[in-house]
Amino acid sequence: VVPIQKRNGSRGSASVWVMEKRGGLIWVMEEITENIASLQCDDSWNVVSAKGEVEKIWGPSVVQKGQSITDLLPCLPSESLETSLEKGLVKIVDLKHFAARTAAGVCIPVAVGKGEGDRALQVSSFPHVAGMMVLSSSSLNVISSNSVFSSVLFGQERPEGLHITELVPDFDEILDVLTEEDNVPLVDGIVVPEHSFRRARTLSILRDGKANAASVFTEPSGLLAKHRDGSTIVVDIQLRVVKSGTFFSKDKTEKSSDRSSDSDDSDDTIAVTELVYALWITYSRQLHAAGPAAGISPSSVPSSKPTSPTHDPDSDRPSDAGADARTTENRKASVEIKTPTSTLSQQLSEAASEPLAARAAQPVPPVLAANVKNDPPAKRTINDYVILEEMGQGAYGQVKLARSKKHPTKKMVLKFVTKKRILVDTWTRDRRLGTVPLEIHVLDFLRRDGLKHPNIVEMEGFFEDDINYYIEMTPHGLPGMDLFDYIELKANMDESECRNIFKQVAGAINHLHTKALVVHRDIKDENVVLDGEGRIKLIDFGSAAYIKNGPFDVFVGTIDYAAPEVLQGRSYRGKEQDIWALGILLYTIVYKENPFYNVDEILDQPLRIPFLPFSEDCIDLIRTMLDRDVDNRLTITEVLEHPWMVGA
């Protein structure tokens, strides 16, 4: 993570990595959100003043003048607090990574540094943290980890050699539940998604009599993890079993000197292959710091204890999923339960696979119809709404569910588009709208007569203040339920349902490409929302552009869905790249995982087909949409005319 300065002079943070490819370097820089606050203290370590993004880190009304610093950072080293502030700061800054206690009583990872002034602490917090950690399958010891990730989340810069229970105390018990209760075969290629870990934790809690399992399952909060300073934080984990090959020189491994130096065997290395557990660990302040984790207080976190190496996978155990899926159970139960299980296990399985429409949810009141007018929108402010919940956050702003104060039964989805984050090239001038972001211009264009489409989100209006534009949209179905969540919840999606969802997305793209002459440029599962009847809407036109303005040479969208020619820095027209993203989307719907795990694989890796869940036509459609030759890639018309799309 490095500090950056933008063209408009504003500063921020970004993650950076560089890869050498075909004699060149591919630089990937992604802006990330970092909240920073400054605390000025007196000699007794009491807060004198606080400034910056204090409420975003601790919540409202937590930081008060005269308050002890230990109320905010409860695990600062006692020896630092018992000495002078100047000397204590040196030790604190050296350790750097701690956990802060929020208004909800939940601990979140933060970094503490020297602030401006002799008695100031600078506290920074990332709302989202994610990274990879690799474990030995036999010992459950950490083999490798990204040092930046492990420092930020766990406060452990180099966790290599630690048993995983030093970081996630219940991990071994949860793994036992997965293998013994659910009969998940931990063989090469198997992926155990986040919801399976949460479910296994639920069973473990019930088995130990710690809490009501039903409440834990209906309001999952993740897994309890342990920070270096002893605090409890909450994370989510996805596990993938992979083969790891290590090459050794023969002269280092062979003890015998019988082999002559002029042996005919020219291979001077040997390969040792072992199974490892690759953990994708994620933390989200919005998700994991909303309140106490499933009713379990921090004091109830079990102490770390090593386990005997009983987790060595049996490669002869059968698997329905085949070898190479990031989830033969990613977001979906990959391995069917073949043997009788406990009543609770059966009930939880049924709950997890229950169709979305049957789930109990807060009913959304009918939304009042809004007439689209050609006149400029009436002057409104954000104070006309009551914010009900946060729905998401992206590169350019936030999305929130709100209720109109004037019409209390009317709910609205508000997208906050932060003005200072809008790229210079995406401002557009309109005689009627004035100077607005391209997203608003496109959405306004798409609500004209003859350009509306049932599967494309409709903007009801917009307004602005000095900080943001606010885009008003009618909620579609259960607010916040996108295709990513639905795939994860719906463990039994059949071919006809997959086809129905994808047809609607493809229909929306066909309308954009052939009638509106617009490219979306950020098609992904998180930008498709569903209602309880399986109807979808394509959302988030923050990266959209008019085809006439192409070709384009700036990357927008999401790397996982980016076409190879875009990642190579070549100019692109837009429609072909939308088709590539549709291919990634269909693969994700079918296999519950992305086909490529990094930029290198997007550029070169052959498409993984771990097993055939549906017909050959479905796989053929995926292959032809993911053709790396842009000229051979299908058009949207050819996608809709493909045999799988017109099948029963």
How far apart are the C-alpha atoms of 276 and 144, rounded to whole Å? 11
Q: Which residues pair with 192 in a beta bridge?
A: 239
Burial class (CB in 10 A: 0-12, 13-18, 19+), 535: middle
Q: Which of 170, 522, 540, 578 is catalytic?
A: 522
Of 357, 372, 354, 593, nearest in space to 484 by CA: 593
Q: 3-state SS string over 377-446?
A: CCCCCHHHEEEEEEEEECCCEEEEEEEECCCCCCEEEEEEEEHHHCCHHHEEEECCCEEEEHHHHHHHHH
Residues 6+ apart with CB under 8 A from 160: 142, 143, 144, 145
How far apart are the C-alpha atoms of 309 and 317, rounded to whole Å? 18
Longest dimension (CA), the chain: 91
Q: What are phi and psi of 638, to 5 degrees?
A: -65, -30
522 is known as an active-site residue: yes
Helix then strand count (H, E) for the chain reads 20, 25
Chain position carrying tokens 């020297």: 114
Polymer length of the chain: 648
How far apart are the C-alpha atoms of 499 and 622, rounded to whole Å? 12
Q: Are 585 and 611 in contact (CB under 8 A)?
A: no
How far apart are the C-alpha atoms of 440 and 459, rounded to whole Å? 8
Chain position carrying tokens 């003859």: 450
How far apart are the C-alpha atoms of 273 and 338, rounded to whole Å? 30
Q: Are 135 and 276 in contact (CB under 8 A)?
A: yes
Chain position carrying tokens 């970081």: 167
Buried b (16+ CB within 10 A) or exposed e, 377-396: eeebebeebeeeeebebbeb
How far apart are the C-alpha atoms of 647 and 637, rounded to whole Å? 16
Please give the positions annotated as active site: 522
